[in-house]
Structures are given as structure tokens and as C-alpha cells.
Structure 1
Amino acid sequence: MLEYTDYLKIFIALLAVVDPLGAMPIIASMTARDKASELKAIARTVVLSVTTMLLVALYIGQEVLIFFGISINSFRVSGGILLMLMSLSMLQGKISETVRNEEEAKEGKTKETIAVVPLSIPLLAGPGAISTVILYAQKGSGINHYLLISLDIIAVTAILWCVLRATPWLTQRLSQTGINVVIRLMGLILLALAVEFIAGGLKGLFPVLA
């Protein structure tokens, strides 16, 4: 089990990766024509889907890596590179194409049900969020370690639910500049985490660097 301050760090990291406020303009554009009752149902489905995906990654993600013969250090480097690509886009006030590209955007507009795809996956619980959960899960052991990370995930998705429910109100009061400031701040945090993951993975792969 890690220190309690480490679990606060994990919470901040997950919040930066999921980035509910940064994804809000996309969510707003996809749900603009929905009624209040429909938006409530979408918010509930999104939160359940994101929570389920991240909890599955937490509890069986490392076993999946073992099944495919992927070392955790290799995954640290690859996950760190993925987070770095995401963070560089966020520092420019954009949503990375590793999360959502133009083809997925067009496909999402044609679907009646968008809560699971693309809102939950890959926009919110995408490769970056899944990688982050798996990488932090392997840093400790024991039931308390996994329960505390589970609480971090639930706390992040609770914030996500609040943002989803308040999307119509927030879009009327927050400017694009304000949203971009939040995206860039989260991108900076994410970049620091990416460097940490890559450095740790390289030290594990090449002990001479330690």
C-alpha cells in the first residue's frame, strides 16, 4: 500500500486524463438537441460505462499484460508516450486524436445512442485513462491499495457526473478561452506524469540508467 498522499496524486492524475471539463464542448455538441430527461439518462450511462471500464482495467489489466507477455516496464514506456502525445495536444487547447479523431466524430453524430461510444469510450475512458490506472495499480499490492484506487476512480466519475448534468448551464457561462485554460493546465500535469512513467520504465528496462 502506498502513502495516502500518493492516492491523492492518483486522483489528480486520473482527473487530468479523463478531463471532464475539457471534453465538455464535445459532449455539449453531441447532446445539444437532447431533452433534460434524455441528458440525465446519457449522463448516467456515461458514468456507469467509464466507472466499469476503469475498474476492469484496475483489477484485471495487469493480468492481461501478463497474458500477452508484456512487461510492466515496457508498458510504462508505451503508456508514458501515449500520455505525452495527449498532453502535447492539450497544451495547445485541443483534444488529442489518440482520444477522438475526425472519423469517430462523424460516426458519433450518426448514432442515436452515443453515451457508450464515443462519449465513454474512447473520449473519457480512452487508452490514456486505462494505461494510467494499470500503471498505478502495479505500484502497490493488497486489498486496501486497490480499494483506495477504486475510490479515486469513483471520485473522478462523480465529478464527471456533475459536469455532465451541468453541461447546458456551464456552456452558457464558460467561454472557450476559460475551457482552454483548464485543458492546458491538465495537459501540463499530464506531461509531467508521462515523463515520470517513461523515466521509470526506462530504468526498469535498462538498470544501468538507475
Structure 2
Amino acid sequence: MASGAFAISDLLTAFTTLFVIVDPLALAPIFLVTTSWAAPHERRQVGLRAVVIAGGILIVFSVAGSAILRILGISLPAFRIAGGLLMFWIAFEMVFSRREDRAAAPVIEQAARADELRRIAVFPLAVPLLSGPGAISATVVLATQFSGVAGQALLIAIIVLIMAITYGVFRAAAPIDRLVGDTGRVIATRLLGVLLAALAVQIVGDGIRAFMKLNGL
């Protein structure tokens, strides 16, 4: 992708990739569990703090992720392949409900401790649910495609937009959960998982081609 030239399809792909990985709709029930003991204003504070922290983490990796890879001696194609494989694993967990099952146990444990309100915003909401390895990997991969100041600004804007949507979903979590119900939530999670799997395969394929070209294969 040339610097300064960003098609609508590129922006939609970046938004879709991060939105599917962050998956605010699937996290809404978990947010309800973690804040079930809290007053409405406390719940809003937890949601806001979580999205701000997660957004900050992703923005840092969108700006400095490539530099971190250079320091570690990791090529961008190699990281793209690894990130794609990790995203595919997350998609696998979404399709077969393993992500929700794994996240539920520590969440319930944390929600029972009302004196750890701030810690809940950091863990497990901000990390690893909102800005876990999958989201960080996707952000670094996308940062290699959105080059230049304009590209970084667009990627940061996408991250901010997704976090704003996530906060809105958290604010409306209770009525959304009642409206969607268990069946609707399961269907949405499965569909998002299949979509993420397709995106992951595309990223891995692009990474393999770039890796082979980089190594003269």
C-alpha cells in the first residue's frame, strides 16, 4: 500500500479486522458479570477506564510496533504470519466457544471483589480481553500497511473509533444482552469467528509471499 493512498476497502478491512478481534458484542456479557455489583456510575467508570487503557496500548503498538520488531530482529513478514496464525486460533476459539469459557472463570472471581474496582478495568477487561495478543498482533500488522504519518493517523482513528463503539456497547450492555439473548449472542460470535478466520488466512498468505520474496525464494 503506497503511503498516502488508502482505499475505502483498506480502511474497512482494517476496521473489520480489529473490530472482530476486540469483539465488543461478545465482551458485553463479561462486562456485565465483572460489574454486576457496581452502581451505574461505577460501571461507566470501569468501562471508560478499560477502553482508554486498551486503546492506549494498541496506539502505542501502532506507532512503535515496527521499531520493537527491529530491535528484536523479527522481520515484518514473519510477524505477519505469526499474527495471522494467532488470529486464526482466536477465530477457532470463537467458533467453538472456547474463548468465552476461558475468560469466564477469572472474570467471575474478580467481580466478587468490589474493592478491586480499578483493577478490574485493567484486568481482565483492558488486558487481555480488549487488547490481548491477537489485537496487538493485528495492530502491528496493520501498521505495516498504513505507512507514513497519514496512515498512522488513520489507523489511530480506527482504534479510537473501535474503542468508542466498545464503550457505547458497554454502556448499553444490559439492554443489548436482554435483546440479543443467548441464541443471538452465540450466532453472532460464530459468524464473527468465521469472518476472522478468513481474514487470518489472507494475512498468513500475504505474509508467506512477502517472507519468500524477502529471502529470495
Give the TM-score taking structure 1 as reference length: 0.91
1:180 equivalent to 2:186? Answer yes
Choose from 11, 14, 32 the match for 2:15.
11
1:11-160 aligned within 5 A:
11-95=15-99, 100=103, 102=105, 104-105=106-107, 108-109=110-111, 110=113, 111-113=116-118, 114-160=120-166
Equivalent-residue separation in structure 1 for 2:92 and 2:79 (angstroms): 20
- Deviation at 1:74? 1.0
Equivalent-residue separation in structure 1 for 2:108 and 2:33 (angstroms): 12
Equivalent-residue separation in structure 2 for 1:80 and 1:40 (angstroms): 33
* Bigger mean CA deviation after superposition, 130-139 or 105-114: 105-114
Query: What residue ranges of structure 2 are gaps of 5+ in the alignment?
Result: none
Deviations 1:110-154 (CA, angstroms, capped at 9, x unpaired): 444301111010011111111111101101321111111111111
User: Which one has the bigger helix percentage?
Assistant: 2
Equivalent-residue separation in structure 2 for 1:154 and 1:112 (angstroms): 24
RMSD: 2.1
Equivalent-residue separation in structure 1 for 2:96 and 2:86 (angstroms): 16
Equivalent-residue separation in structure 2 for 1:92 and 1:154 (angstroms): 29
User: Aligned pair in 2 of structure 1 residues 27, 133: CA closer, same or farther (>3 Å)?
Assistant: same
Aligned length: 208
Amino acid corresponding to residue 8 of structure 2 in structure 1: Y
Give the TM-score taking structure 2 as reference length: 0.88
